[in-house]
Chains A and B, each alone.
Chain A
Amino acid sequence: MIMAEPVSRNDSGASAPADEELLVKRARAGDLEAYDELVQRYQERIYATVYHMTSNHEDANDLAQESFIKAFQALKSFKGGSSFYTWLYRIAVNKTINFLKQRKNRIHLSLNDLDFNAEHDPDLVAFVSDKTPRREAGLSELQEKLNTALMKLSEPHRLVVVLHDVQGLSHEEIAKVMECNIGTVRSRLFYARQQLQAWLSDYLKPT
């Protein structure tokens, strides 16, 4: 299973906005069945975002659930200015950043296993081939090094990398989620990539 692969979305960022509005309206009126459908629609993406930010499965589980609960509780304040999807992302991201600030310097990696497809991904196979200086590195080691490097980034920089390079969100969507302008998103992304490249240079294939 490939988790949270970038999906094609329309301009508003929602995957199916037609009935989403109705679902949100029903959920706001207390219809838990409607909210259940909304949770199912976004659970993987929200979980993935939180997981990639924390590099900890248990924390991601708790934070993703709490984000959905918080969103349900705050549905009355959702005015529809942005899409439900962006709004939900914002709640999850803020919750995660608050959590990370509280547990600063207490980083404990609890990584999910790589799925079966990883071993057959030609790009990834190339990283563990003889073209990299650390050619003895296996995928698991690479995974750990990558996550450790990501955790060294500040939260805003990590978030931009996760949302753009892992989740596949556009600059505009990230700007909406983070409530900043697109220029800030671009500069953060550039800086974060530079940092990661420096830390992971031994594992990167020369270009």
Chain B
Amino acid sequence: MNENQPNFESLRRLLALKRHEAPPPGYFNNFSREVIARIGAGETGKEAGLFAGIPWLLNMLQSFETKPVFAGGFATALCGLLLFGAVMAQRPEFAAQAILQPSAQEGAPLIASATPTTMMQPANPMFIDNSTNFAVNFQNSSAVALGQMPVNAQLASFPVSGN
């Protein structure tokens, strides 16, 4: 493959016509002034203003502009990460481990370690509020979950001991 084949000579001469296409006379007299005026007017990029406090992020965005291969690599890595997250979330053992892990801590206070799921279990039917001496029976857990007053909630009063 030889790009200097003589049969391209005619085409090259024709392409030289493009060099004679010129903007209106005096066009470049104000060009640089306009560019500098736009820079001076703070048009150095809205993104520069947005990310002015995060120089590494600004550099990264600028490198995307000058080297699109970086942008492609970054996008691929991001997609890969999202895909990995989605696949891991689908795996049942991973999801179960994520749910069970907090309540597996031994010695932690019941309330502190309780998740909304464990709070609704029948094993914890009674919640006693010591500050008000009120006890609420959580038999209607679905109502609790919806933030509604349980139907069979009863106010219970106890004598304050020790006068």
| B132 lies within 8 A of chain A by Cβ | no
Interface of B, secondary structure class, is helix
Q: Is B91 an interface residue (CB 8 A)?
A: no
Residue A24 at the B interface, CB < 8 A?
no
Given the contacts A5-B19, A77-B66, A187-B1, A44 and B39 also touching, CB distance less than 8 Å: no
Asked if B123 is at the interface (CB within 8 A of a chain A CB), the reply is no
In the assembled complex, 25 residue pairs joining A and B whose CB atoms fall closer than 8 Å, in A order, are A35-B36, A39-B32, A43-B28, A65-B35, A69-B43, A73-B45, A74-B62, A74-B66, A94-B68, A115-B20, A115-B21, A118-B17, A126-B13, A127-B17, A143-B21, A146-B14, A146-B17, A146-B18, A165-B12, A165-B15, A187-B1, A193-B3, A193-B11, A205-B13, A206-B10
A190 at the interface (CB under 8 A from B): yes
Q: Report A160-207 residues with CB < 8 Å from chain B CB.
A: 161-162, 165-166, 179, 186-187, 189-190, 193, 196-197, 200, 203-207
Interface of chain A, main secondary structure = helix
Q: Within the assembled complex, what's the spacing in Å between the Cα atoms of A170 and B98? A: 60
Interface residues of B (CB under 8 A from A): 1, 3, 6-25, 28, 31-36, 38-40, 43-45, 48, 59, 62-63, 65-69
- CB–CB A117/B45 < 8 A: no
Complex alpha-carbon distance, A111 and B18, angstroms: 10
Residues of B close to A179: CB separation below 8 A: 67, 69
B66 and A94 contact, CB distance less than 8 A: yes
CB distance from B135 to the nearest CB of A (A): 66
Chain A residues positioned under 8 Å from B7 (CB to CB): 197, 207
Contact between A43 and B39 (Cβ–Cβ < 8 Å)? no
Closest-by-CB residue of A relative to B55 is: A76
Q: A74-B66, A91-B66, A190-B3 are in contact. Are A203 and B22 (CB under 8 A)?
A: no
Q: Is B6 a contact of A114 with CB atoms below 8 Å?
A: no
